[in-house]
Structure 1
Amino acid sequence: MAAATSMIYTFNALRRTAAVAAILGGLVAGCSSPPKPPQPSPAGQPAATAPAANGDPTRQRAVLLRERARWVEADWSELPGWGGDRAAELWPALLRGCARPAEGWAEVCAQAKSNAAPADDAQASLWLMQHLRPYRVESHQGEAVGLLTGYFEPMLEATRRPQASFQVPVHAAPADLMQRRPYFTRQQIESDAALRARLKAHELAFLEDPLDLLVLQIQGSGRLRVSDASGRTQWVRMAFAGHNDHPYQSIGKALIERGELRAGEASWPLIRDWLRRNPALAKELLWSNPRYVFFREEALPDPAIGPRGAQGVALTPGRSIAVDRASIPYGTPVWLDATEPLSKQPLRKLAMAQDTGSAITGAVRADYFWGWGGEAEQQAGRMKQPLRLWALWPVGAM
């Protein structure tokens, strides 16, 4: 009855309606059945068991082992704030993820596509509880607290040809990018006259600020309002098309190591302010990050649709995260337990693992997609929060 009691505890946080009460009876009855034996892990390693973190100390919990993480079976009542999220908002992101479902998700995705969207948050939460099971994500050493950072889609002014102060090119991938690995460094691309001439045919647009190019490259995509020679403007998207295979080096970390900023101060607003006050040192700082990202231009017919993540589906602001796919497969819903960077209010909500990034490695590690625009940039630029998370996985799936 421990699981049934946990269900009752969770549902007390949901809206008390006749419909919820009817579904509650069925769910609690389902929880009284004995748990299935541990299944082999998706990574091909045998599953294990672990003692309960709380509740019944004698209960053994199934553990699914992945390459860089282990998942420990949990009760819904252990998810901090469960039932308080606007769970229905997850549905569009969930359906997008089901366009490219993870292994073991075919049946659940088929049901999600065939059903009408949940009428409210309570119904969405109940649907998830019927079809999925929560697992606490932790490292192989048992560390369950990690890091949540944020990213966004920059919105920048640009020109189609170099003019006035718009002299910083955004490049498409050159034809020899895959043949020469690693490719030229950022410093070589920006300072070697012969190389710049060779890349001239791959110039897509021009920005005003070298830091804007770096931000665009770090975020992996962006929206440019491009002006042509006639003065006409249009919004286009610059989507990730590859990089030069050099390691990413944080310029914020470089400023901290040089004593220019204190630890915890390396936000984009402060970095931008430092560069404004030290223009003679700007190139040296930017060149300390040798990685250079190339783009492809895409039309932007619907400005409400986010960029495609590594899963190959459009990202949803506030509902998509980047993860280490060796810890969490793309298309997995997760429950986040963190805080917001500016307000410090609890950030406890559902999100979909739909993207990745070179700096996103480890078991309890995620990058939260804030969307686009000024507020998204402010939130993402300051986000560096302690994180706990739970993966929600189909009942019975490996």
Structure 2
Amino acid sequence: MTLARLAALLAALTLPGTGQAEPPSLTVLDYSSLRGWDADDHAAALRVFLNTCPDLSAPDWQALCTVAEQQTNARTFFELFFTPVLVEDGNPALFTGYFEPELNGSLTPTPRYRHPLYRMPPEARQQPWLSRRDIETSGVLQGRGLEIAWVDDPVELFFLQIQGSGRIRLPDGKVLRVGYGGKNGQEYSSIGQELVRRGTYSAHQVSAQVIKNWVRRNPEEGAELLRHNASYVFFRVVDTVAPEDGPVGAMNRSVTAGRSVAVDPSYTPLGAPVWVEKDGTLPMNRLMVAQDTGSAIKGAQRADIFVGTGDKAGRLAGRLKDPGRMVVLLPIQRAYAMLPGDSL
């Protein structure tokens, strides 16, 4: 589907939270209006772009990929062949962070390791399937050989499902990598927002670590809180990625810390370069690539920045909840085809 057709399609969609059908606002910008553009490491962004560029099937993208492989000046490449387009849907921009968690686990169940990660059962492909509550309380997955591994912490397992991929450190020191293998088709619900709704915390207090601590202090209520999110994620073993590379994203390629971003593909095409202007305590002006998606990533100006692997990355990701602006870089012809008055 071309982006011009995509714009027409979006005009017929009901945007989240508005209750009304309206087209996105599309504004073509100049590179001089991108804050910090001159100071970025465009060569680093180009390397990440090339990682998924071969998977883009449209002829104009394929032509750009061929040119990109021959570039010696990355900034010139982007400025010559792409046009910055600001896509807005009426909702404010929000940048969060995600990471690749590392859990302790085992390939066999033990008294310590007793919380399983499951492969997707065949019947779950008929969606929507059972809710998280139904899956956990009915035992429908048990004893069927669907277990990939067992971990020692159900709270970390829940957040592994939120992240969609991670590493399981086994007792012998080896590491098993797992990635997204499907879900039950139920709607994602934020348990952080639920805690705010209940009055347990105010919005500015909520973070992943705050949620984890509350669930552990309140094990029975905590289990019920986690089940408020009806969405349930299944996993698969990932054995095609080098240990030093990032986890596999929605494009089935490794994502890169600080350069890969998860977006809503209804507004931002996967594989496209995106210019991120993130405000907050850790401001960032950087060219990234839209290489991933997420259940909670909905909207034209909603993005999740991949920040790395492990606990340190997890703490950083948990602190990111910032405003700003995201600008999509599109092939020039596509960008101008989207302008009002042009034929879609």
TM-score normalised per structure 2? 0.87
Q: Residue 310 of structure 1 aligns to which amino acid in structure 2?
A: A
What is the CA-CA distance between 1:334 and the residue it aligns to? 1.0
What residue number does 1:187 align with?
A: 133
Structure 1, unpaired ranges of 5+: 1-38, 47-66
Q: How many residues are paired up?
A: 321
Taking the aligned partners of 2:203 and 2:266, their CA distance within structure 1 comes to 29
For 1:148, the aligned partner's letter is F
Q: CA RMSD for the aligned pairs?
A: 2.2
Give me the whole-angstrom Cα distance separating, in 1, the residues matched to 2:322 and 2:215.
Answer: 26
Q: Which amino acid aligns with 2:68?
A: A
- The equivalent residue for 1:355 is 292
Answer yes or no: is the 8 Å Cα contact 1:102–1:331 preserved in 2: no
1:201 aligns with 2:138: no
- Out of 207, 224, 231, the residue aligned to residue 284 of structure 1 is 224
Is the contact made by 1:235 and 1:300 (CA closer than 8 Å) also made in structure 2? no
What is the aligned counterpart of 2:301 among 361, 364, 377? Answer: 364
Pairwise CA distance, 1:196: 4.5
**Structure-1 residue corresponding to 2:115:** 168
Deviation at 1:205, TM superposition (A): 0.6
* 1:99 alignment partner, SS class: helix
What residue number does 1:80 align with?
Answer: 35
Bigger RCO (CA 8 Å, 6+ sep): 2
Partner of 2:18: none
Match of residue 93 from structure 1: 48
Partner-residue secondary structure (3-state), 2:105: strand
Q: Output the CA distance in 2 between the equivalents of 1:363 and 1:217.
A: 24
With over 3 angstroms needed to count, the CA separation of the structure-2 counterparts of 1:130 and 1:213, relative to structure 1, is same
The verdict on how the C-alpha distance between 1:251 and 1:347 changes in structure 2, with shifts beyond 3 A counting, is same
Could you tell me which amino acid in structure 1 is paired with residue 113 of structure 2?
F
Task: Say whether residues 1:245 and 2:185 are aligned partners.
Answer: yes
Shift of 1:40: 8.5
Q: CA deviation at 1:339?
A: 2.7
Matched with 1:332 is 272
Corresponding residue to 2:158 among 207, 211, 214: 214
Distance 1:99 1:75 in 2: 27
Q: Percent sequence identity over matched residues?
A: 37
1:250-295 Cα offsets, whole Å, 9 max, x none, are 1111111122211122211111111222123221111111211111
Paired letter, 1:176: E
Distance 1:337 1:158, change over 3 A: same
Deviations 1:313-334 (A, max 9, x none): 2211111111111111111101
Q: Which residue of 2 aligns with 1:125?
A: 75
Map of 1:390 onto structure 2: 327
Gaps of 5+ in 2: 10-21, 338-344
Using the TM superposition, give the Cα deviation of residue 197 of structure 1 relative to its aligned residue in structure 2, in angstroms. 3.2
**Residue of structure 2 equivalent to 1:138:** 88
Q: Is the 8 A contact 2:118 2:146 kept in 1?
A: yes
Larger Rg: 1
- TM-score using structure 1 length: 0.76
**Any idea what the Cα deviations from partners look like across 1:208-256, whole Å, max 9, x if unmatched?**
11111111111111111123xxxx3321211111111111111111111
Matches within 5 A, 1:294-333: 294-299=234-239, 302-333=242-273
After superposition, the Cα gap between the structure-2 partners of 1:44 and 1:383, relative to the gap in structure 1 and judged at 3 Å, is closer
The answer (yes or no) to whether the contact 2:179–2:237 under 8 Å persists in 1 is yes
| Preserved CA contact (<8 Å) 2:49 2:271 | yes
Alpha-carbon distance in structure 1 between the residues aligned to 2:300 and 2:227: 31
